[in-house]
Amino acid sequence: MIVKNYMCDWVNTIDQEKTLPEVVKKMVEKKTNSIVVVDENEKPVGLISSRTLIKQVVPGYLKEDPTNSMFGAEGTFDRYADKLRDKKLKDFMDTDFHVLSPDDAMIEAAAYSLKGMQRFLPVADESGKLVGAITRTCIKNALHNVFFANDKVDPKDNGVGK
């Protein structure tokens, strides 16, 4: 069971020079919670998930202990979101992520999907170019096909919107 059989071939990507509002727009349009940031050679250089975006909007003083937010003033969310208008992706994207190759075993994908809540693992070819991604749905499909050999799901039906 290897990565190329279960990865989704289509991945939403964005350029690292784009801003936070632009990535939000694209993620809403594509109905996705994860997007890969690529350089000019289509090499994955960062990941943006909905969680990455939320981390930007919650101010430092509420991150340590969310209890304080119970008394948060109305308009605080808008005010902090407004400060993010010009923020570039390269300044806050997640850069600590594992890149799979198409021939890697699915157990590697499964193990890395648990590391640091990484929900999305880019897959790149030998030249480093992005060729796909493994999501948790891909891993779930692989698990299904182990248990139900006579009733396999289409591994490519992994819920990633084009």
The contact set with another protein (CB under 8 A) reads 59-65, 67-73, 76, 79-80, 83
- Output 87 or 156, the one with its CB closest to another protein: 87
Q: How far apart are CA 115 and CA 120, in angstroms?
A: 11
- Output 72 or 128, the one with its CB closest to another protein: 72
Residue 144 has which token pair? 């299904």
In the complex, least distance from residue 19 CB atom to another protein, rounded to whole angstroms: 17
- Output 13 or 56, the one with its CB closest to another protein: 56
The three-state secondary structure class of 91 is helix
- Output 61 or 147, the one with its CB closest to another protein: 61
In the complex, least distance from residue 67 CB atom to another protein, rounded to whole angstroms: 5
Q: How far apart are CA 68 and CA 109, in angstroms?
A: 37
Alpha carbon 122 to its chain centroid, in Å, reads 8
In the complex, least distance from residue 30 CB atom to another protein, rounded to whole angstroms: 30
Residue 12 near residue 31, CB atoms below 8 Å: no
In the complex, least distance from residue 71 CB atom to another protein, rounded to whole angstroms: 5
Q: How far apart are CA 102 and CA 7, in angstroms?
A: 8
